[in-house]
């Protein structure tokens, strides 16, 4: 069992919204960050009601021997990066930026990936009950910045606050006829926090951000709570997850990995093989976002590179992308057997490619444009079926100046069988 596949999916979730296009700290889009999977210190959370301090996932596992669950708690720990300039007396003072020998440095909140491993096992009596504490120490780093002559022009300060919490694990058998367990895994942030009126930005330095879980089963297998087999469907309905939703994370057909994600996913998710790397925005199209990154000015790119190592990597990758990678980004065809529309094997009587029809759109249509075509003459390009087996007539409009282009491109209007009226032979001969 390897967590590598699950980590790749988790990293795409972990970095969602970390830094958004145009990848500059000064961009308004990057003023509010850390939107997913936030677990704030408990005391501050309860006082402010701004961010939660706990999350919980509930999943099903079927033992097949000596069951063991390898658990990984992963999150980003916020690291404040500050810039200071050196004065004539050698003292340092805060600054909004520091540029030395053409390289720009600016303040920012970095995110350091933390991964904590745990092992879960049922007790001797077959029950599950564990309490696991975790503690991540704080750290302070100073990085002097010298110019070409060796003179210190300033320094970079990086500081992380300590974070601590606990994981509560409970399990109960939910099937009397076969061994099936519902596991409840709750993660809490118990970091002490006394200044309860702190703003969100300050309190998040003691938070676990983009929190999620990786679970690997040995001596057993997980049951999907999204698409459970019939015998486990009732048990799956009893699972109640809060801010951490479990999905099967291995390849299709494998059930040894689960990802508990703050963003709702489907079973067996995967990163598209055409994607050359994370863009910190999984809702965007890679090709479009990469092209927009290339359109940034040189000064914008310089600011993006100064913002964060991840944003610098995005800009560098866009500029270095080879032609064959651009071709992959431009489009890929998958699962054609599950396409929205597929050709129907047998055409209805009186209809076929090249037939001419009069459009009679029905009242069930809600698009006003469809109704505007009522009475228009069209040419049948294909008879197709959707995934539910409903038959449609794909047509181009005879009076449309772009009909030839639409035919070449495959852009058709679709009508159901009772919405088209075949022309008589006399009508069909009429130009």
The pLDDT tens digits of the residues spanning 219-229 come to: 999 999 999 99
CB atoms within 10 A of CB 30: 21
**Alpha-carbon dihedral 121, 126, 128, 134, rounded to 10 degrees:** -30
Is residue 111 one of the residues assigned to a domain?
yes
The pLDDT tens digits of the residues spanning 377-393 come to: 999 998 888 877 788 89
Q: What is the chain's pLDDT, residue by residue, as a tens digit (431 residues)?
A: 689 999 999 998 888 899 999 999 999 999 899 989 999 999 999 999 899 999 999 999 999 888 999 999 999 999 999 999 999 888 999 999 999 999 999 999 999 999 999 999 887 776 789 999 999 999 999 999 999 999 999 999 999 999 999 999 999 888 777 889 999 999 999 999 999 999 999 999 999 999 999 999 999 999 999 999 999 999 999 999 999 999 999 999 999 999 999 998 999 998 888 888 889 987 788 999 999 999 999 999 999 999 999 999 999 999 999 998 888 888 776 655 555 666 766 667 778 888 999 998 877 766 677 778 889 999 999 888 887 778 889 999 999 999 999 888 888 888 888 899 998 877 767 66
Of 214, 237, 270, the residue that ends a domain is 270
* Separation of alpha carbons 254 and 177, rounded Å: 23
The pLDDT tens digits of the residues spanning 9-18 come to: 999 888 889 9
Is residue 74 one of the residues assigned to a domain?
yes
Examine residue 22 and say whether the peptide bond preceding it is cis (omega within 30 degrees of 0).
yes
Tell me how many domains the chain contains. Answer: 2
Of 270, 294, 318, the residue that ends a domain is 270
CB atoms within 10 A of CB 131: 10
Is residue 287 one of the residues assigned to a domain?
no
Pair (345, 204) in one structural domain: no
Pair (108, 198) in one structural domain: yes
Query: The tokens of 331 are what?
Result: 């489009």
Find the CATH number of the domain harbouring 373: 2.30.30.30
Write out the residue range of the structural domain in which residue 206 sits. Answer: 34-270
């Amino acid at each position: 069992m390897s967590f590598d596949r699950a980590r790749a999916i988790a990293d795409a979730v972990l970095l969602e919204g970390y830094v958004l296009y145009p990848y500059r700290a000064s961009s308004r889009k990057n003023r509010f960050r850390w939107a997913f999977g936030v677990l704030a210190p408990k005391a501050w959370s309860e006082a402010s009601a701004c961010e939660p301090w706990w999350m919980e996932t509930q999943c099903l596992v079927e033992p097949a021997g000596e069951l063991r669950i390898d658990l990984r708690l992963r999150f980003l720990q916020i690291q404040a990066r500050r810039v200071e300039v050196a004065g004539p007396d050698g003292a340092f003072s805060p600054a909004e930026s520091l540029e030395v020998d053409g390289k720009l440095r600016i303040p920012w909140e970095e995110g350091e990936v933390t991964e904590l491993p745990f092992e879960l096992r049922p007790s001797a009596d077959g029950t599950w009950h564990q309490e696991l504490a975790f503690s991540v120490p704080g750290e302070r780093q100073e990085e002097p910045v010298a110019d070409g002559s060796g003179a210190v022009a300033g320094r970079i300060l990086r500081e992380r606050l300590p974070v601590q919490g606990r994981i509560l694990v409970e399990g109960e058998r939910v099937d009397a006829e076969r061994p099936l367990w519902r596991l409840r895994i709750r993660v809490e942030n118990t970091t002490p926090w006394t200044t309860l009126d702190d703003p969100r930005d300050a309190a998040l330095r003691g938070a676990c951000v983009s929190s999620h879980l990786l679970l690997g089963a040995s001596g057993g297998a997980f049951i999907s709570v999204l698409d459970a087999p019939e015998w486990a469907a009732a048990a799956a309905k009893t699972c109640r997850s809060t801010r951490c939703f479990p999905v099967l994370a291995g390849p299709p057909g494998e059930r040894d990995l689960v990802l508990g994600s703050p963003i709702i996913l489907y079973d067996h998710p995967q990163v598209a093989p055409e994607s050359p790397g994370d863009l910190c925005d999984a809702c965007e199209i890679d090709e479009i976002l990469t092209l927009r990154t290339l359109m940034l000015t040189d000064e914008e790119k310089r600011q993006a590179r100064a913002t964060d190592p991840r944003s610098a990597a995005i800009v560098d990758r866009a500029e270095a992308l080879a032609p064959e990678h651009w071709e992959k980004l431009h489009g890929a065809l998958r699962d054609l057997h599950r396409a929205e529309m597929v050709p129907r094997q047998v055409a209805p009587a009186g209809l076929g490619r090249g037939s001419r029809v009069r459009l009679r759109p029905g009242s069930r249509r809600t698009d006003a444009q469809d109704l505007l075509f009522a009475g228009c003459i069209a040419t049948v390009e294909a008879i197709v079926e959707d995934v539910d087996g409903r038959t449609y007539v794909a047509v181009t409009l005879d009076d449309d100046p772009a009909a030839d282009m639409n035919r070449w491109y495959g852009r058709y209007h679709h009508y159901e069988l009772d919405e088209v009226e075949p022309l008589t032979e006399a009508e069909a001969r009429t130009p």
